[in-house]
Chain A
Amino acid sequence: MKISRLSIKDYHQFKTLDIDLTYPEGHAKAGQPLDKVCFIGQSGTGKTTLLKLLFECTMSKNGQYPPYKLELDHKLFITHNLHGYETLSTMSGHVHKKLNGKLVSADDLGFGEELNQFINSPHPFLLFFPAELKYQNFNLPQIAEGSTRKIYDFSDDDIQLIWNKILNEIQIHQEKVLSINHDITKIVSNGNKDSEALQQSINELKSLTSSEYSPIKQLAEKCLDPVLKKFKLKVNTDLDIKTKDDLGKIKIVDNHGSEIPFESLSTGTKQVFFSALPLYTVKPANAIIFYDEPERSLYPDLQKMIVEYYTSFTKNSQFFFATHSPIIASSFEPWEIVELKFNDEGYVVQELYYPVNEERHVDNYTIIPQYLTYDSMLHRVFDVKAPNNELRNIKITELLTLKAQLEKLKGKNDTHFNDLYNQYEDLAEKLSWDFKS
């Protein structure tokens, strides 16, 4: 199930917001729901609100609803596809089908039972990552329940739920390896070096410690090391059990093999770990995943890779991001960006990236984030009027003046020319030889 449209009416700052979440005409996937969506917009335009509403509307099921949900019923609809029907869901979980342009309750059409069963049954995986993830410790001894859950809201759930599942798998694997090691030692100490049992145990050990079967090696290769290598760190995949406490523990080491305690890792590194691990662990397919401000505490190089990194863990899933970062936003195609803006009346509207009087067609899009520098992203997408320090343009004026003077003096290799030239090069270097505003 993927969301293909979001309509919201008369709710707080939203007067009439109707967002098409499908690929536009001219695209290979024209008409299909977008694989990923990025909400951008000034603080207060409701990015996080929309993310949360989409999440809650998608997971809606019968039961008690807080007042705001009831208030929203029949004000917010999301369009998706259930069993081949283009269907609209409301906050309270009522399902409707659009018939001749009118909303008709699924019950009235006689297929309500089927659709309501769907609504009340476990949904495809839903994961919500708030801007601030909750995590306390890297290693907790107890194993949390939750592996069978299909909805994770990390605004309420501690991300340890997922982390403990991984640690449990690692511990079970380590205990198996230790057990086989013990068997081998026993066989060897009994003097049966050539026995069939010894060979069998060795083979079993080899297989068990291969990347294919080792959860810690898999975790290192597929999830953590691509990020850790940016900090010159990696997961220690060797079986390094000195005490009982080492069981079910993931050790991060530097290039020299020294262990780095989890507490010493940067906030950004922890943030990536804990936001990627649930995806790595659950490996969701047909999921809807929500990330609020994924750029939190991340250095720009990590922001650049984060969208691709997260999406790589999933299959046929739909992602919703809300961000303030031009780096994150530049990972999206123009039709995947939903820019929210206040209009003159103070209501939030979507800024379209194609002329209003033109068809929503890939060829009509005038803003293509992937073509823009981050400077231009700030100008054209984030509407920042003067992203650079005001001193920069003053210095560019100075440089261009020097250039004009040098052009006039070209050929005169005297002290004045040399002084001006040295000033020019010095300033150009400080401006990174990039003189365009």
Chain B
Amino acid sequence: MGRCRKPDSFSSGDVCGKAGLSSDRTESSCDAGRYKRVPSAKLALKSRRRLLFLAAFGVFVAVQGFYSFELSPEPYPSIRMPSFGVAPDTEGHFRSRVLTISIRYEDGSVVFPMASELMQDFRFSAARPSLDYMFLGEEARVDDQVLRWLRKQGTRLGNGSEPTVITFSVRATSVDIRTAKYLPGGEIQERQIRL
């Protein structure tokens, strides 16, 4: 006799009890709520295929996970969630890089925009990584198009004044996690771009 019963509720699926492969198991197909009779052997084959598929899927997920951890930067698409990163040290200091941007104008004035203000055209989450890639890394090259774009941002941030030079200054320091303040000192890396 079949063990499937029709769903008696609006949200749960049909309940098939312990559908199994042994000879005493149901002959009704619990799958997909179709209540037609299906031979046990056919059901058993289907169950084994599912098991095989699940095993293969598990291996696939694990292998792509291993692959994604091995590669840098992280590949996409891959099944991963953000992990934040390493913990602060035992002294309560968290390594950090403090970025200061300054734009100097023809009239001698200077503005200090935040990274997200300078990179306003970018999606918020992409702003800082894009800035790091283009202006603080060694992979990218500032071409004419980037220069024109940078000049345009400078003009926008200076309320129409003509920008002459932009400076990116990065201080490698730490945050004291008890006070949420940067520690003084630290090596400074600087890059100037004439606009």
- Does A pair with B? no
Interface residues of A (CB under 8 A from B): none
